[in-house]
Amino acid sequence: MKFTLSWLREHLDTDASLDTILVTLTRIGLEVEGVENPGKALAAFRIARVLTAERHPQADKLQVLSVDTGDGTPLQVVCGAPNARAGMIGVLGLPGAVVPSNGMQLKVSAIRGVESNGMMCSSRELELGDDHDGIIELPADAPVGMSFPDYAGIDDPVIDVSITPNRQDCMGVRGIARDLAAAGLGTLKPLAVPTPATSGAGPDVRTDDTEGCPAFYAQSVAGVVNRPAPDWMQRRLKAIGQKPISALVDITNYVMIDLGRPLHVYDRAKVSGALVARRAVAGEQVLALNGKTYALGDAMTVIADDAQVHDIGGIMGGEDSGVSDTTTDVLIECAYFTPQAIARTGQKLNLTSDARGRFERGVDPAFLDDGLAIACAMVLDLCGGTASGVTRAGEPPLAMPSFAYDPALAQRLGGLSVAPERQRDILARLGFAVTDDWQVTPPSWRRDVDGPADLVEEVVRIEGIDSVPSVPLPRPDGVARPTATPEQKIERKVRRSAAARGLHEAVTWSFIPQTQAAVFGGGAWTLANPISEDMKVMRPSLLPGLLSAVQRNLSRGASSVRLFEVGRRYLADAAGAPDERATLTLVLAGERTPRGWQAGKPQRFDAFDAKAEALALLEAAGAPVANLQVMPVPSTAEGGEAGDAWHPGQSATLRLGPKTVLARFGMLHPGVLKAFDIAGDVAAVELFLDALPPKRASGFMRPAFAPPALQAVTRDFAFTVSPTLAAGDLVRAIKGSDKAAIVDARVFDVFERATDEGVERSMAVEVTLQPGEKSFTDAELKAVADKVVAAAAKLGAVLRG
């Protein structure tokens, strides 16, 4: 629903600013979707008088104009319009202005060797019309120097409001003004309903379909002249996107948008006999005003004469009886159509219109006489003629329910305490009739209100939903407090930790194609009646869904993809029964770091990045990271679960002992990536949350951390080791050699050299010792060193001399 600010002020007496009006509209439930001011685009265009017009010395079709802009100094402008002449008043675009039609910014320039300080503009160039034969000619009394938007009345913001389906009363500017007045933004101006002079009986109309068209009112006007609508009406219609056609058509559109009352005008010379609202005969056709022919069904309401159908009732008129420039006698239709019938007809014909949008919401059934009188008076005023009497066929549904209302409901249902007299004032401003004993009757234009709860909604939205205090809901006795299981808490921890590490959470389908499941060892659960073949197998791994997401992102130009998902794998236990396993899976693809002047080429993810993520997330989950062992991923033939999906030599598992696998990490097998059409490497991690050891129960809180009083001591050891010895195994052995003194150990150097017997590898380990109550003696340090050497020797490591 669009309208201009000046149009709104025709109904609302207010001094509120545009910003205040916009905020209030959204606050009371009429959400503002946008605001445009066409006048801003023309702010640099002025009204100017042509003082002289002389032929351009270098071009026969150009003239050199001397133009008065009202500031006392004439400007020289080169113009090619044929109607440019001395004495005329037009519109000048000054240097710096942007021409709306082509986006060109005007500047001082030389045209064929003559300086030009702007441009005299045509209607098309300013997007005010299609005329491009010459520049705009304004009346002789147009004020020279005045801003053109101010003079033309187009410096008028256009407000676009989203109307919910239940607010049929706000499908007209007056309804919106009524709501703003109720919200305290001014006073609703009284609606002037004229009483046109009439002569003779009304036109011959009737309704034979009282279910689809309960009321059909009509009035004729003879001797009209269908000229263009006045400028003020055309400006308003153009501003909201309506194309002016002629005065008779524009009047009906204007009344519909202004007051929410759709109307239709027939050329009486094209109507044979009486106009009747009736059900269509199956197979009848009508050529609508949109140029399309529609086949009608016997459940549709139409307006027809003795010869043919002229109107799809309440939705769109027909070409055969439409008014034209030669129309002299018209019939104005003002009818009430049942919302349900309009909706069914519009849906079946796939036909939308502004009239349908209002009728299917429900227009005011009590506004037939007034709407017809207003339209007839406008026709007489703008087109002349003589009006007939009014024919009223049928009865509109005017009965409105009345129900008791308790003002305390605003607090009980809406959570907002509003004084009873304030509630009475709000309801009265909205048009409700409220008796002293709180019997409330909705107005005829509010057929969506059918009970006390609706009145609470009206009071709360006008008073302000933002005024409703935030209070906790009371907890009834016997309702348990919310709890989370240890497993749920672990999932929350790892989810938050993954997000904090820069990974993006994804949610993928639990159903995957059978071909994808086969890549990961096949699925244990297969649906007998799947939605589609692509959703047939319950996933044995979260990797298929994440790899599909990786492929989509990389194919759309993403340079780096970091995704994780917390979900369930669906496997089978030893007995073949279904088994769900909680898992966190993450994938890293593309660039780890982009190219740069320091780093050079972009760095890609590798298996060590996956290991770092796995250790960090396991630590967040509370796993004993220091005790983990790195072991190879067993192949599927060796009994490993989907082991063939991982790259041999670039993947491993993290275990607590040889059997408890907490995670798999590393690079995925190239064959897997080919199956998912992924170019490049992908690192991945699978954290088996169900395998995490439960937290030990403890009846005592652990003592607070107290930093050691003495400084730590470090000692370096260099060992000659087998090329097949894992660094983690050596570090673990050294840490376990003296748990009381050794608090940390790390490999800080690895050296390899080729010998006649093969490859010789050296590892240097830094061991951190923490004294307790007193410093270490030399003897104590030597004893610890001997334990370190002995522990390393059990793994075949020899201390280098």
Which residues carry a binding-site annotation for Mg(2+)? Answer: 448, 454, 457-458
Cα–Cα distance between 546 and 536 in angstroms, integer? Answer: 17
| DSSP-based three-state secondary structure for 641 | coil
Task: Region of 639 please: left (phi>0), alpha (psi -120 to 50) or beta.
Answer: left
| Run of H or E residues at 721 | strand 713-721
| DSSP-based three-state secondary structure for 24 | helix
Task: Summarize the annotated binding site as residue ranges.
Answer: 448, 454, 457-458
CB 762 within 8 Å of CB 719: yes
CB 48 within 8 Å of CB 175: no
Decide the pairing of beta strands 275-279 and 301-304.
antiparallel
Structure tokens at 419: 């004084």
CA nearest to 188, candidates 14, 336, 380: 14
CB 635 within 8 Å of CB 521: no
The per-type count for the chain, helices as H runs and strands as E runs, is 19, 40
Q: For residue 534, what are the contacts with CB-CB under 8 A and spacing of at least 6? A: 511, 512, 513
The pair phi, psi for residue 758, each rounded to 5°, is 130, -145
Cα–Cα distance between 26 and 19 in angstroms, integer? Answer: 11
Across the beta sheet with 75-79, the strand order is: 75-79, 63-68, 45-55, 89-93, 119-120
281 to 155, 276, 295, 363, 369: CA distances (angstroms): 50, 13, 10, 27, 30
CB atoms closer than 10 angstroms to residue 622: 16
* Helix 173-182 vs helix 247-259: crossing angle, to nearest 10: 20
Tell me how many degrees the CA angle 632-638-641 measures, rounded to the nearest 5.
Answer: 75
CA nearest to 152, candidates 131, 129, 119, 177: 129
CB 735 within 8 Å of CB 788: no
